[in-house]
Amino acid sequence: MEQLTARQGEILGFIRAFIDRHGYPPTVREIGRHFRIQSSSVFDHLEALKRKGHLEKQGFKPRALRIRDDRGVEGPVTYSEEESVLVPIVGRVAAGLPILAEENIEERVPLPQRLVRHKNSFLLRVQGDSMTGSGILDGDHVIVRPQAWANHGDIVVVRMEDEATVKKLDMSRDKIFLVPTNPAYKPMPAKPNTLILGKVVGLIRGY
């Protein structure tokens, strides 16, 4: 990866911070406004960053920037390429409290970043064998990305009463069904008070 100049480093840092704060990259002119330089000057910097491999850039599209300096080092590696993220294990899900309230958290476990690509993800211990059809066994821990809505076919964590349970979403019919993928169980229609806590994005098992 080619060396950056001080200015190029500033620009890259600004883009990174902007994405952190807003959730989307800045436009050329937004960068320029911050540094009090013209858009064409920013353009030059972006081209340099692209040429040096630190930035991906989709021609002519606004905000189509992606920082690429997080790739690992090539070749045989004898050290960690990857950082760990501390992910909380959620136990009981007390009603009324947000899922990640300290009261619900039992402990925290370091996981590789690739498995936990989103902020506020958490681990939930699976109880029962209702999802064995999807390779989710009793005692497994699922990695959950919090989101209040999910789509047909997603494996989700829903809260019913005081319990968090893992099910597959079936939205193909008139009502929403929570489907256990173990054929020994029957799909149940979602009640009005069922709450989607998040989508299952990973799984961890220890034998």
130 is an active site residue: yes
At 126, list the tokens.
């699976």
Among 85, 103, 86, CA closest to 94: 103
Residues near 76 by beta carbon (within 8 Å), at least 6 away in sequence: none
Sign of the CA dihedral running 186, 160, 178, 126: negative
Among 23, 41, 25, CA closest to 33: 41
Distance CA 108, CA 152 (A): 31
DSSP string, 47-62: HHHHHTTSEEE-TT-T
Between 37 and 67, CB nearer to a copy of itself: 67
Sign of the CA dihedral running 108, 112, 114, 115: negative
20, 21, 23, 36: which one binds DNA (CB under 7 A): 36
Between 9 and 98, CB nearer to DNA: 9
8, 104, 130, 165: which one binds DNA (CB under 7 A): 8
Which residue out of 39, 57, 80, 167 is catalytically annotated?
A: 167
Q: Would you count residue 100 as binding DNA (CB under 7 A)?
A: no
Beta bridge partners of 169: 178
Question: Whose structure tokens read 């476990």?
Answer: 109
43, 50, 120, 181: which one binds a copy of itself (CB under 8 A): 120
Q: In 56-187, which ranges are continuous DSSP H helix?
A: none
46, 116, 123, 158: which one binds DNA (CB under 7 A): 46
Angle between helices 6-22 and 39-51 (to 10 degrees): 100
Between 23 and 183, CB nearer to DNA: 23
> Which positions from 123 through 152 interact with a copy of itself, judged by CB under 8 A?
132, 135-137, 140, 143, 145-152
Q: Which entry of a copy of itself, DNA, none binds 108, CB below 5 to 8 A by partner kind?
A: a copy of itself
80 is an active site residue: no
Between 18 and 165, CB nearer to a copy of itself: 18
> Which positions from 49 through 68 interact with DNA, judged by CB under 7 A?
57, 59-63
> Which positions from 23 through 52 interact with a copy of itself, judged by CB under 8 A?
23-25, 27
> Which positions from 9 through 28 interact with DNA, judged by CB under 7 A?
27-28
Report the catalytic residues.
130, 167
Q: What residue ranges bind DNA (CB under 7 A)?
A: 5-8, 27-30, 32, 35-41, 43-46, 48, 57, 59-63
